[in-house]
Amino acid sequence: MAGSGNLHLREQEKPLLRVEDLVVNFLSAGGETVQAVSGFSIDVLEGETLGLVGESGCGKSTTARAIIQSPKPTAGSIQLDGVELTELDDEEMRRTRPILQMIFQDPISSLNPRRTIRDVVAEPLYVWWEEETGRLAIASWFEKTGNLFQKISSKFSRPARILAPLAWLSLIFWLVSEASDERSLETWLSWLKTPAQFIGFPVLFILAAMAAALSVVGAVWLVLAVILPFGVISGKFGSVTNTVGLTGLFTSLFAVVFLFFRTWSSLGGVAHWLSSGILLLAVGFLAVWSLLACREPSRAGSSALAVLVFMLFAIQVFYIVGLDGNTKLAVFSLSAAVDGILYWLIARRYKLARAQMRQRAEPEVKRVLEAVGMEVEGSLERKPHEFSGGQAQRISIARALILNPKVVICDEPVSALDVSVQAQILNLLEDMKAAYGLTLVFIAHDLAVVKNISDRVAVMYLGKICEVGPPELLYSAPQHPYTRLLIDAIPRPDPEFDQRNAVRIEGELPSPLAPPSGCRFRTRCPNVQAKCSTEEPQMKEVASGHYVACHYPADSELNQ
């Protein structure tokens, strides 16, 4: 094995997934190269199930992960539906991911322990929905407050362009005046403090908090006016988005310079320097986000609120630090209250959107969960650890299916399960494949399991393919000595089968740091000859559709 050559690739057909000369090397801790996969080629036709078998450590998982590009392979080509995945940039790859899903070996570990099943299964929908509509949170908020969202999105692309710089300007002026006019704040506070002793602090406190909250809400509105166009137009990366983003960027740059000179000329003292520094940072932050917004609308949408909160925080820190002893605490509690209200508002809106998305996702979630044979009633709000391994694996399958993928890569989905549950999952995968028209890559170490589910099986050893063929042929006439040994290793539920006579593979997989020369299997091969250590066997066809990479395959005369 350790076979090279791509004879087994079906050139005349158009495969859905085509992997050619895949190489994955890792850098080991000692700085050496781990040759996990070395020249692996395979193709999978639409609707076909490819089985991949091999020992632990032979590179099955590495191959699977290279196919989904995390991490990207060292070399080689991977084509999905004619698209070369290795040439996609991160963003393009991310957009391709929905059609290429994966199921993992450890069912429990592949579900986030802190999520409910509802959210675990619906998460793929959330990810793409949020992207689709900008921020659903903001959308729903605007919907609520007079359908501004609709209005502006439909025709106000030009006003948006004017609105954006205006919004930026007013925001920045607001910030600057708040930040630099310390005296006015102190007057305000003294006003707050003196009557507090007479009328009662709480009343005033609430009033003040409301006033502050209002100005904050105003600011949020302004910022949202900026974000809005991004969110609205996110579907089409139109020129409006870019315009808005760039105006935002220039305005904030302008503001930075403005702020800088103003601070420099009128203020002194370390705290003021530092506070201006913080403000500069905050504004710079906004600028960066605007820049990003040009490329990625929803990212700016989701982050602008965070930036706003961050700026408020910075201002607060500055005030609190700069004030004298007693006012400090008053301001501290005041701003804490304001923050509280603000966070609460944001959280509410956010929650609302979550709730909406949950509602929207519910039929889908129920559909896939039912499809994988889960009881929907009562399981939606439960956490992964409350389920058995088999159930958790069903949930994983449901999650993979919810995006309607074309190809699903199953990395040992049944190895951690009991035989009875294994049978359930294997049947389920077959059913799902039929129902959703899936193409599967099924990885396992047990040839009997692989044979049961596959249309074509590839046997892998130390990063290379030994033998490829239809499962029946592979079983009835295994050509590669390694395949033979794999077959013998399968535990037979048959007391007449004498396990003691079965040929056993000796020793361990050699280290992928220094794979053997020639045929990689030669160190453990019962048929090894001199030629095997010098010459690497090439793929050759032994029967129709049955390929082997061995100098002395079982049926060859030399072997006899």
Ligand X SMILES: Nc1ncnc2c1ncn2[C@@H]1O[C@H](COP(=O)(O)OP(=O)(O)OP(=O)(O)O)[C@@H](O)[C@H]1O
Q: Does 284 bind ligand X (CB under 6 A)?
A: no
Distant-in-sequence, close-in-space partners of 1: CB < 8 Å, separation ≥ 6? 459, 461, 462, 464, 465, 466, 467, 480, 482, 519, 520, 521, 537, 549, 550
C-alpha separations of 323 from 182, 271, 338, 473 in Å: 9, 10, 18, 83
d(CA 222, CA 335): 20
Q: Would you call the peptide bond into 71 cis, given omega within 30 degrees of 0 as the criterion? A: yes
For another protein, the binding residues in 414-433 under the rule CB under 8 A are 415, 418-424, 426-427, 430
Q: Where are the alpha helices (DSSP H) in 267-324?
A: 270-295, 297-322
Q: Find the shortest distance in angstroms from Cβ 433 to ligand SF4.
A: 32
- Given Mg ion, another protein, ligand SF4, none, residue 522, with its beta carbon under 5 to 8 Å by kind, binds ligand SF4
Closer residue to another protein (CB): 160 or 432? 432
Strand duo 456-461 + 75-80: pairing: unpaired
Per-residue contact string for residues 204-243; x = within reach of another protein by CB under 8 A: ----------------------------------------
Buried b (16+ CB within 10 A) or exposed e, 309-345: bbbbebbbebbbebbeeebeebbeebbebbbebbeeb
Q: Are 466 and 480 in contact (CB under 8 A)?
A: yes
Closer residue to ligand SF4 (CB): 452 or 527? 527
Site stretch for ligand SF4 (CB under 6 A), options 215-223, 263-271, 398-406, 522-530: 522-530
# residues contacting ligand SF4 (CB under 6 A): 15
Closer residue to ligand X (CB): 62 or 180? 62
Q: Does 63 bind Mg ion (CB under 5 A)?
A: no
d(CA 124, CA 320): 43
Q: Find the shortest distance in angstroms from Cβ 75 to Mg ion.
A: 21
Q: Does 68 bind ligand X (CB under 6 A)?
A: no
Beta strands in 412-474 (DSSP E): 439-444, 456-461, 464-469
Site stretch for another protein (CB under 8 A), options 9-17, 165-173, 492-500, 529-537: 492-500
Closer residue to another protein (CB): 216 or 485? 485
Residue 260: which of 245, 279, 244 has the closest Cα?
Answer: 279
What 8-state DSSP symbol labels residue 444?
A: E
Q: Does 190 bind another protein (CB under 8 A)?
A: no
Q: Find the shortest distance in angstroms from Cβ 24 to ligand SF4.
A: 22
Residue 422: which of 413, 430, 432, 431 has the closest Cα?
Answer: 413
Q: Are 396 and 103 in contact (CB under 8 A)?
A: yes
Closer residue to another protein (CB): 225 or 397? 397
Site stretch for ligand X (CB under 6 A), options 54-62, 220-228, 244-252, 465-473: 54-62
- Given another protein, ligand SF4, Mg ion, none, residue 1, with its beta carbon under 5 to 8 Å by kind, binds ligand SF4
Q: Does 310 bind ligand X (CB under 6 A)?
A: no
d(CA 487, CA 158): 70
Q: Does 521 bind ligand SF4 (CB under 6 A)?
A: yes
Q: Are 410 and 138 in contact (CB under 8 A)?
A: no
- Given another protein, ligand X, Mg ion, none, residue 403, with its beta carbon under 5 to 8 Å by kind, binds another protein
d(CA 414, CA 426): 8
Paired tokens of 274: 């530092």
Q: Does 515 bind ligand X (CB under 6 A)?
A: no
Cα 263-267-270 angle, rounded to 5 deg: 100
Tell me if residue 360 falls in helix, strand or coil.
helix
Paired tokens of 251: 């305005």
For Mg ion, the binding residues in 329-348 under the rule CB under 5 A are none
# residues contacting ligand X (CB under 6 A): 15
- Among 15, 39, 76, 512, which residue interacts with ligand X (rule: CB under 6 A)? 512
Site stretch for Mg ion (CB under 5 A), options 58-66, 281-289, 476-484, 534-542: 58-66
- Among 352, 528, 554, 556, which residue interacts with ligand SF4 (rule: CB under 6 A)? 528
Closer residue to another protein (CB): 39 or 384? 384
Q: Does 38 bind ligand X (CB under 6 A)?
A: no
**Residue that is written with structure tokens 């619906």 in the block:** 122
Q: Find the shortest distance in angstroms from Cβ 499 to another protein.
A: 4
Closer residue to ligand X (CB): 56 or 147? 56
Q: List interacting residues with Mg ion (CB under 5 A).
A: 61
Q: List interacting residues with ligand SF4 (CB under 6 A).
A: 1, 480-481, 519, 521-522, 525, 527-529, 532, 537, 550-552
Q: List interacting residues with ligand X (CB under 6 A).
A: 26, 28, 34, 36, 54, 56-62, 412, 445, 512
